[in-house]
Structure 1
Amino acid sequence: MKTINLIAACALLMSAGATFGHENAPHASHPAAVVKEQKAWGVAGDAPAATRTITVRMSDDMRFAPRHIEVREGETVRLRAENRGQVMHEIVIGTQADLDQHAEMMQKHPGMEHDEPYMAHVSPGQRGDIVWQFNRPGTFQFACLIAGHYQAGMTGTITVQPRKP
C-alpha cells in the first residue's frame, strides 16, 4: 500500500511541475527571488550593478575557457556560462573546501537538485548567468560539480584583487 501511495504522490508532483535532477533543475536565467547570503567569496549581485560580463565557455573536454578570471574587490560581474558541449555542465563558485565537499555529495547523489545564486546549470548549446559581487579579496575557485566533471579537472580560479587605496 505504501508503494502505491508513493507512486501516486510522485505522479502528482510531476504533473504539478516538480523537478528531479540536473536535467530539469531550475536555471539561474529564470527570474526568482535571490537570497543575498554573504559567502567567503562574496554575495549575490544585482544585474543592473554589473560593470562587465565575463563569458566562460564550457565544453565536453571538461575544461573552462578561460580557466582564470581576475576581478577587483567590490566589483559586480555577470559570469555568462556558455555550454558548447553535448552534455549538461554547470559552473559553481566557492572556496576549494566548499567545492570539494559539494563534489563529494554530487558523487553520492548525482541527480541532486540545487539552485543557488553562485551557480548556473547549463544545458547543451545554452547559456546561464551568475551575477556576483566579489566583496572580499582572495583567490576562489569555480568548477563543474556534475559527477565526474570535477574529477576530470573541470575547474578554474577567480582572483579578487584588493580595492585600490
Structure 2
Amino acid sequence: MKFISPRALSALAFALISGAALASGNHPGGHGHDSDAIGKPGVAGKATRTVQIDMTDAMRFTPSSVDVKQGETVRFVVKNSGQVKHEMVLGTEKELKEHYEVMKKNPEMEHADPNMVTVSPGKTGEIVWQFTKAGKIDFACLQPGHYDAGMKGAVNVAGKAGAAKVDGHADHKH
C-alpha cells in the first residue's frame, strides 16, 4: 500500500479545489473565481505607479486603503517587516473568506497566482495588477490567524468620468 505525504495531499487538495473553482466559472450560482470583478494581471512595463505596502506582525497592512483609477496598472511592492510569513491577496471579500478557510485547514499550502504574493520575514515581493472595473477590491493576508486578526485592506477604484455606471445610467449631474 502506498502512502501520500501530507505535502502531496495538500497540493492535490489545492489542485482539486482550484480545478473545481475554475470549472464552475461565472455562471449564475457559480462559486468560481470571478477575476473580472477584481481586474487582471498587469504588465510591469505598463504600470503607471508603484504603491509601497508594509506588512507587520501587528497583523496590519500600511497603508490599508489605496485609491486607484479604473484602467490603471499598479505595481504593489509588498514588504514584510515582521518575523513571520505574510501575504497579500487581492480578491472579492467572498473569495478571500473562502480561500482563508482552505488555508486554515492547510497552513503549509504554497501557491502562486498573479493576484497574490507570499513574503518571508524581512523580504519584499510584488504584484502588478490592472484595475479594470470601478468599485472596491479587497486584499488580505490569508496565513492562518492573520485575516481573523484584521490583516486586511481595500483598493478603491474610481470610475472613469463619463463612463456608464453598473445600473446602465450615464454618470450625469442633474
Quick one: which of 35, 51, 56 aligns to 2:48? 51
Task: Give 1:83's aligned residue.
Answer: 80
Structure 1 portions without partners, runs of 5+ = 14-18, 20-36
AA of the residue aligned to 1:118 = N
Task: Give 2:2's aligned residue.
Answer: 2
Q: Structure 1 residue 2: deviation in Å?
A: 2.4
Quick one: which of 61, 72, 83 aligns to 1:64? 61
Equivalent residue runs for 1:37-48 within 5 Å: 38-48=35-45
Corresponding residue SS for 1:149: coil
Corresponding residue SS for 2:38: coil
Task: Give 2:111's aligned residue.
Answer: 114
The separation in 2 between residues aligned to 1:96 and 1:2, in whole angstroms, is: 39
Residues 20-74 of structure 1 deviation map (CA, whole Å, 9 limit, x = unaligned): xxxxxxxxxxxxxxxxx94311000000000000000000000000010000000
Q: CA distance change for structure 1 residues 126 and 105 in 2, over 3 Å: closer, same or farther?
A: same
1:128 aligns with 2:125: yes
CA RMSD of aligned residues (A): 1.9
Q: Structure 1 residue 121: deviation in Å?
A: 0.4
AA of the residue aligned to 2:42 = G
Quick one: which of 123, 135, 154 aligns to 1:157? 154
Residues 107-150 of structure 1 deviation map (CA, whole Å, 9 limit, x = unaligned): 11111121110000001111110000000000111000000000
1:141 aligns with 2:138: yes
Corresponding residue SS for 1:58: strand
Identity of aligned residues (%): 47
Structure with higher RCO (Cα < 8 A, 6+ apart): 1
AA of the residue aligned to 2:137 = F
The number of residues matched between the two structures is: 137
Quick one: which of 75, 85, 103 aligns to 2:100? 103
Corresponding residue SS for 1:100: helix
AA of the residue aligned to 1:121 = T
AA of the residue aligned to 2:2 = K
TM-score by length of 2: 0.74
AA of the residue aligned to 1:74 = G
AA of the residue aligned to 1:67 = S
Task: Give 2:172's aligned residue.
Answer: none
AA of the residue aligned to 1:105 = V
